[in-house]
Amino acid sequence: MSASLPRVAIVGATGAVGTELIACLQQRRFAVRDLKLFASERSSGKRLAFAGQSLPVQPLAEDAFNGVDIALFSAGATRSRRYAPLAVRAGATVIDNSSAFRMDSAVPLVVPEVNPDRIAENRGIIANPNCVAIIAVVALWPLHRQFGIRRVIAATYQAASGAGAAAMEELRDATRASLAGERFEPRVLQHPYAFNLFSHDTAVDAVTGSNEEETKVGRELRKIMCAPELRVSITCIRVPVLRAHAIALNVEFEREVSPEAAREQLRAAEGVRIVDHVERNHFPMPLEASGQGDVLVGRIRRDSSDPSGHSLSLFVAGDQLLKGAALNAVQIAERLPPSGIAPR
Amino acid sequence: MSASLPRVAIVGATGAVGTELIACLQQRRFAVRDLKLFASERSSGKRLAFAGQSLPVQPLAEDAFNGVDIALFSAGATRSRRYAPLAVRAGATVIDNSSAFRMDSAVPLVVPEVNPDRIAENRGIIANPNCVAIIAVVALWPLHRQFGIRRVIAATYQAASGAGAAAMEELRDATRASLAGERFEPRVLQHPYAFNLFSHDTAVDAVTGSNEEETKVGRELRKIMCAPELRVSITCIRVPVLRAHAIALNVEFEREVSPEAAREQLRAAEGVRIVDHVERNHFPMPLEASGQGDVLVGRIRRDSSDPSGHSLSLFVAGDQLLKGAALNAVQIAERLPPSGIAPR
């Protein structure tokens, strides 16, 4: 392959997102000089398929990034904090899927449909936002750009995949046990998952009452849309769904907005597919969002509780592993300058 | 048994709610002179256990209510419209779980924790509200009474049971098939249910964009709380949970309300159990609400999107078949005058 093609590394290659990163690179024919796969000791020795080759999974080491142009990190905030600066020092541009650097003012937080121009401002690290923030912002941005959003009230329906591959397996195993009338002891999540739902498993702040997920989504939406005044209230709930998140959104605008005007903006928006078939009762569903790059948007209607006509309600669904994580990261990588080296 | 005890009939005795009506009467030691069980032709010939007896399930007929004091209906709006007036004419007081009479100004719509005084105003029919409306209002009423609610924005997580016993079976069967990698053709619900969720299966109004369930909840909340000015925006979603509904509630009050003040009202409220253990991340869950008469309330916190301090967020869960249907009906029956005959 050409020497001008980037050398890419994936950190967390065997995880739920890592697996999708490899798949996205292949499906989108992202041309690489070579691909290095890193994971925890537990996975080393494994081999994964990429572009007709079988690549070894290596344990992460301090010198792992020598010669790497683009490093896609998806191995948790602790590993990102330790290894991402090493990757940058070795000359790589890091696209980090963890929360480690998202709110760092020197780090662009990018959803390519929203703020692609920020990519060029990176000083070595570009942060991939929280999955709920990405899925919500793909639907909110075309509306914010046109009408100005003042306030968002959201309730999420979050899939197991957001807690990783082990949580997806736990949902399947717990459900299988429940159907068989057998006992099942949760291993990954704190609460029984079969035919059940629960408040997001991150810690709740004793003062604000928000959990970490909710806090992340609010501040990330503000940063991505460059909307510091945006007010966000969100309730994050984990539901027994495998890999796509849904969100009920109630949106208040600076002025009166009709559902038709909103629909027109959304229809023209990149990354959005309108699924709003009233006559067939067919609206965004996680099962149909799964495996799709687009965010599905429907139930677009006036908010019946706001007589001023400034508010709309909508319901969205997006693949947590794709647009909510791996796909968004690869879309960022696609926009990096040749060799992945952004100007420093 | 004493001649002064009421003679009770259950219409729809073999359905998901009917089964729970029988169980509630027994568990609450509701004393009856006798119990008649009615269901569709399909179920006639069946026998169901009640208080140590085995009772026949009979097909519904026009003269079915002769001698009946209290008729508990849960067989859909069409049957209620046809048979409830016949039951009233025969001298029975009807407690109707369908939507047929709920918005009739001559029919009390009752949740005993909220408006028990309306029971005495009945002219033969008392309506049992929609399950989401009941579960929400048990949590909202103590707050409305004390602080005055102006606006509610809600997103629901509704269980299969709301669509009947066949939908619960479909959820189990579809999930079993999904886990086995087999195809499953939906029979009861319109969309695939295994590890999926979808907008509520009632028709969406082309003008308002609300589905029938959403419209019902708004108008029933206003009627039950006698709050004609209350503004409600709700998104009703069916989730793969068996028998308890959850609701994310965002509540705007007429004045500033602290989470502590709200908690104090809720702690003293009938029918409410606060489950709000921040340190253990333990909040209302459908699995824990199932089989419980109380509505679980937690995640009580300031709405971070309302700087005026007038808004709170909370998350509730309640058993759709019990407090959302059968239990509420039996609690109404318990408050009827002796022999079930209300003054006409």
Query: Is-catalytic flag, B131?
Result: yes
Quick check: A240 and B242 CB within 8 A? no
Quick check: B209 and A157 CB within 8 A? no
pLDDT bin (cut points 50, 70, 90) of residue A284 is: very high
Q: Does B95 touch chain A (CB under 8 A)?
A: no
Within 40-79 of A, beta carbons closer than 8 Å to B belong to none
Chain pair A-B, CB pairs under 8 angstroms? 176
According to the model, what pLDDT value does residue A2 have? Answer: 61
According to the model, what pLDDT value does residue A39 have? Answer: 96
Quick check: B240 and A195 CB within 8 A? yes
| Partner-chain residue, chosen from B196, B231, B233, that has the shortest CB–CB distance to A286 | B196
According to the model, what pLDDT value does residue B2 have? Answer: 61
Residues 6+ apart with CB under 8 A from B258: B302, B309
Cβ atoms within 10 Å of B267's Cβ, excluding its own: 12
Contact list in A for residue B211 (CB cut-off 8 A) is: 281
Rounded to 5°, angle at Cα A105 from A99 and A110 = 60
| Partner-chain residue, chosen from B199, B246, B282, that has the shortest CB–CB distance to A197 | B246
Residue B1, pLDDT above cutoff 90 = no
Residues 6+ apart with CB under 8 A from A79: A11, A12, A60, A73, A98
pLDDT bin (cut points 50, 70, 90) of residue A4 is: confident
Between CA A138 and CA B75 the distance in angstroms is 44
B197, B239 contact by CB (below 8 A): yes
Nearest CA in chain A to B299: A209
Between CA A229 and CA B317 the distance in angstroms is 33
Give the residue among A322, A270, A275 at the shortest CA–CA distance from A297.
A275
Residue A340, pLDDT above cutoff 90 = no
Residue A255, pLDDT above cutoff 80 = yes
- What distances in angstroms separate CA B212 from CA A4, B235, B243, one per listed residue? 59, 11, 20
| Partner-chain residue, chosen from A176, A209, A240, that has the shortest CB–CB distance to B259 | A209
Residue A344, pLDDT above cutoff 50 = no
Mean local confidence (pLDDT), A115-143: 98
pLDDT tens per residue across span A36-57? 999 999 998 899 999 999 999 9
Query: Is-catalytic flag, B236?
Result: no
pLDDT bin (cut points 50, 70, 90) of residue B4 is: confident
Q: Does A237 touch chain B (CB under 8 A)?
A: yes
Contact list in B for residue A211 (CB cut-off 8 A) is: 281
Residue A9, pLDDT above cutoff 70 = yes
Q: Does A319 touch chain B (CB under 8 A)?
A: no
| Partner-chain residue, chosen from A195, A287, A305, that has the shortest CB–CB distance to B231 | A305
Torsion of the alpha carbons at A80, A83, A87 and A90, rounded to the nearest 10: 160
Residues 6+ apart with CB under 8 A from B195: A171, A175, A240, A241, A242, A286, A287, B175, B178, B240
According to the model, what pLDDT value does residue A343 have? Answer: 46
Catalytic residue among B24, B131, B200, B310: B131
Interface test with A, best of B210, B301, B320 (most A CBs within 10 A): B301
pLDDT bin (cut points 50, 70, 90) of residue B283 is: very high
Mean local confidence (pLDDT), A285-296: 98
Ranking A3-7, B235-239, B311-315 by mean pLDDT, the lowest is A3-7
Q: Which long-range contacts (CB under 8 A, 24 or more apart) does B57-64 make?
A: B57/B13, B57/B14, B60/B11, B62/B86, B63/B90, B64/B9, B64/B36, B64/B38
Compute the mean pLDDT over every residue in chain B, rounded to the nearest whole number.
96
Share of chain A above pLDDT 90, in %: 95
Q: Does A139 touch chain B (CB under 8 A)?
A: no
Between CA A137 and CA A141 the distance in angstroms is 5
| Partner-chain residue, chosen from B196, B231, B237, that has the shortest CB–CB distance to A248 | B237
Compute the mean pLDDT over every residue in chain A, rounded to the nearest whole number.
96
According to the model, what pLDDT value does residue B338 have? Answer: 76
According to the model, what pLDDT value does residue B342 have? Answer: 46
B312, B251 contact by CB (below 8 A): yes
pLDDT tens per residue across span A205-240? 999 999 999 999 999 999 999 999 999 999 999 999
Residue A339, pLDDT above cutoff 90 = no
A175, A240 contact by CB (below 8 A): yes
Contact list in B for residue A190 (CB cut-off 8 A) is: 281
Contact list in B for residue A201 (CB cut-off 8 A) is: 281
A272 by DSSP, 3-state: which? strand
Quick check: B305 and A151 CB within 8 A? yes
pLDDT bin (cut points 50, 70, 90) of residue B293 is: very high
Interface test with B, best of A169, A179, A196, A212 (most B CBs within 10 A): A196
According to the model, what pLDDT value does residue B343 have? Answer: 46
Contact list in A for residue B303 (CB cut-off 8 A) is: 153, 233
Give the residue among A163, A313, A323 at the shortest CA–CA distance from A250.
A313
Ranking A322-326, B36-40, B44-48, B135-139 by mean pLDDT, the lowest is B44-48
Residue A342, pLDDT above cutoff 60 = no
Quick check: B248 and A239 CB within 8 A? no
Quick check: B199 and A250 CB within 8 A? no
Quick check: B171 and A313 CB within 8 A? no
According to the model, what pLDDT value does residue B82 have? Answer: 97
Catalytic residue among B144, B200, B245, B310: B245
Share of chain A above pLDDT 70, in %: 97
According to the model, what pLDDT value does residue A44 have? Answer: 82
